[in-house]
Chain A
Amino acid sequence: MSEFLTRGWNVAIPEVDIGDDIFVVQDDNGTLRRVQVKTSTSKNRKSGYSGQFNVSVRNLRNITNIFVHYIFIVRHNNEWSKPVIIRQDDLLDHFENNKVGSEADGNITFYFSYTGNKVECSGQVVPRYTSVYDHPF
């Protein structure tokens, strides 16, 4: 949340949890973004590490006027990884058309592997952002 605040976005936590973790509002023009943060602990691999995330299929498909931005971060060696930020419709597109992630019991599991500066999911390179500021939010 402090990452957003330092960049001029205000942050609000919904009173009732129905899928969104935080609402982010750009103070000077009122632009609103819905954000869901997904965290995972790392597992070491031969080269790099991996993180596993679950996303509700129902929430992913619940497309409204304002898209949800999913932020995926992994705890690795007592530090948070740089975030992977994917907009809801992009993530849905990857899942439905590029066979990224696997569905079971109403959830989609995304398995991200981190090698150097590269992040991959189901064999596809996922864009990675060095900070939330870099992302065209």
Chain B
Amino acid sequence: MNAIRINVNKQMDGYSFSITPSIRDFIKKLFPNAHPANNIFVGYDTKSDFEIYAGKLENYIYPALLEVDNENDLKKLDEIQFIDIQTGNILHKVTPRDEKV
């Protein structure tokens, strides 16, 4: 698998971040103790408040969504792409091994 794709759906009141079952299976195979979530919803107001103090929300979404928070485990992952599910546009890209998590 090349990049891990996280789908982002912009709703009326916030963002839904989700992964497909094939990504979930891939993560479970790679990290048997992980229990990836189906989706995470974050309201627009929560996102903007959070980012003032903690930085880009996406950097906190992918460890929570994939349920992989060990730094060494995250470094095994290649690029993670946040894709607008309706348009297919890449909204954000992260390469965990290059990031300080």
- B21: which of A61, A65, A93 is its contact (CB, 8 Å)? A93
Are B21 and A63 in contact (CB-based, < 8 A)? Answer: no
Complex: A93 Cα to B23 Cα, angstroms: 9
Set of chain B residues within 8 Å of A61, measured between Cβ atoms: 7, 9, 85-86
Q: Measured between alpha carbons, how far is A96 from B83 in the docked complex, in Å?
A: 13
A89 CB contacts on chain B under 8 angstroms = 18, 20-21, 38
Q: Are B85 and A93 in contact (CB under 8 A)?
A: no
- Of the candidates B11, B21, B22, which one forms a contact with A64 in the assembled complex, judged by CB atoms under 8 Å apart? B11
- A63 contacts B41, CB within 8 Å? no
Query: Within 8 Å of chain B (Cβ to Cβ): is A62?
Result: yes
Interface residues on B, range: 10 to 19
* Contact mask for chain B residues 50-81; partner A; CB cutoff 8 A; 1 contact, 0 none: 00000000000000000000000000000000
- Interface size range of chain A in the complex: 10 to 19
B95 touches A (CB below 8 Å): no
Question: What is the distance, in angstroms, from A137's C-beta to the closest C-beta of chain B?
Answer: 14
Contact of A67 with B9 at beta-carbon distance under 8 Å, contacts A58-B86, A61-B86, A97-B20 already known? no
Which A residues form the contact surface with B (CB < 8 A)?
58, 61-65, 67, 89-90, 92-93, 96-97
A40: shortest Cβ distance to chain B, in Å?
25
Give the complex CA separation of A89 and B65 in angstroms: 15
- Per DSSP, chain A at the interface is helix
Closest to B10 in A: A62
- Complex Cα gap A96–B85 (Å): 11
User: In the complex, A113 Cα to B32 Cα: how many Å?
Assistant: 36
Chain B min CB distance to A122 (Å): 16
Contacts of A67 in B (CB 8 A): 38
The distance from the CB of B26 to the nearest CB of chain A, in whole angstroms, is: 11
Is the Cβ of B22 less than 8 Å from the Cβ of A63?
Answer: no
Contacts of A65 in B (CB 8 A): 16, 39, 41
Residue of B nearest to A98 (CB): B22
CB proximity of B29 to chain A, nearest CB, Å: 15
The CA-CA distance from A79 to B61 in the complex, in Å, is 47
Q: List 9 A-B contacts (CB under 8 A).
A: A58-B86, A62-B9, A63-B85, A64-B11, A64-B39, A67-B38, A89-B38, A90-B21, A97-B20
